[in-house]
């Protein structure tokens, strides 16, 4: 699941910020940097998700470390979640979903321009956009309304993240099962006709 590797810096951030905001940001930046360099060496193209992760986590690590160290966890989460939501929405607006490049790595070139492949990538990117929308809205509510506990913000964030990960893992397998069933049915029809 290459796309999960693309979201790995965000997952590192989400898991570590409850321990330390700085640690979460710096390790997410390091993960984003390593993934971007590794992928760039293999194929000299820069993905939106990789470039966005390096930029967002690098900026936030420097900003919270040197300019605004008193920034609250919910505020940092709000900026990061909104940044990833922005990346997903921009990629959809440009008609180049962030998941598309990862699909190119694992599937044959002849299906890249098929409607089914493109639709699947719109759906996967849309699922992540929904998760980031939920996380951003919860972070914003927690930042604006002090009575919303941080634990609720984090729990909702983890639930949305978990659902996005589960969908990302299961959806391609579901599609493969459907396509395999269709191919088998077509083969049976062809065999019966001959």
pLDDT at 189: 39
Cβ atoms of residues 168 and 120 within 8 Å:
no
Q: What is the pLDDT of residue 188?
A: 35
- Per-residue confidence (pLDDT) for residue 87, from 0 to 100: 97
Q: Give Dmax (Cα) for the chain.
A: 75
The pLDDT of residue 1 is 53
The b/e string for 157-177 (b: 16+ C-beta within 10 A; e otherwise) is beebbeebbebbeeebeeeee
Task: Count the alpha carbons within 13 Å of 3 in the hemisphere toward its beta carbon.
Answer: 26
Domain definitions of the chain by residue range: 2-193
pTM for this entry: 0.87
Give pLDDT < 50 ranges for the chain.
Answer: 181, 183-194
The structure tokens 């993905």 sit at 47
> Counting Cβ atoms within 10 Å, is residue 147 exposed (0-12), middle (13-18) or buried (19+)?
exposed
- The burial class, CB within 10 Å (0-12 / 13-18 / 19+), for 59 is middle
Please tell me the predicted confidence (pLDDT) of residue 180. 53
Q: What percent of the chain has pLDDT over 90?
A: 68
């Amino acid at each position: 699941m290459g796309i999960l590797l693309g979201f790995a810096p965000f997952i590192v951030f989400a898991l570590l910020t409850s321990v330390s905001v700085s640690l979460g940001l710096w390790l997410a930046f390091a993960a984003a940097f390593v993934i971007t360099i590794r992928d760039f060496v293999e194929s000299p193209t820069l993905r939106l998700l990789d470039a966005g992760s390096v930029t967002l986590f690098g900026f936030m690590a420097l900003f919270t470390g040197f300019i605004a160290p008193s920034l609250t966890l919910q505020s940092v989460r709000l900026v990061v979640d909104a940044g990833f939501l922005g990346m997903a929405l921009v990629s959809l607006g440009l008609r180049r979903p962030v998941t598309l490049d990862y699909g190119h790595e694992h599937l044959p070139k002849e299906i890249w321009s098929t409607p089914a492949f493109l639709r699947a990538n719109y759906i996967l990117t849309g699922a992540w956009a929904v998760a980031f929308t939920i996380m951003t809205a919860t972070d914003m509510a927690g930042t604006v309304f002090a009575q919303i506990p941080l634990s609720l913000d984090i729990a909702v964030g983890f639930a949305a993240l978990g659902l996005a990960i589960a969908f990302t893992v299961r959806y391609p397998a579901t599609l493969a099962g459907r396509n395999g069933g269709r191919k088998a049915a077509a083969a049976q029809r062809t065999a019966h006709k001959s």
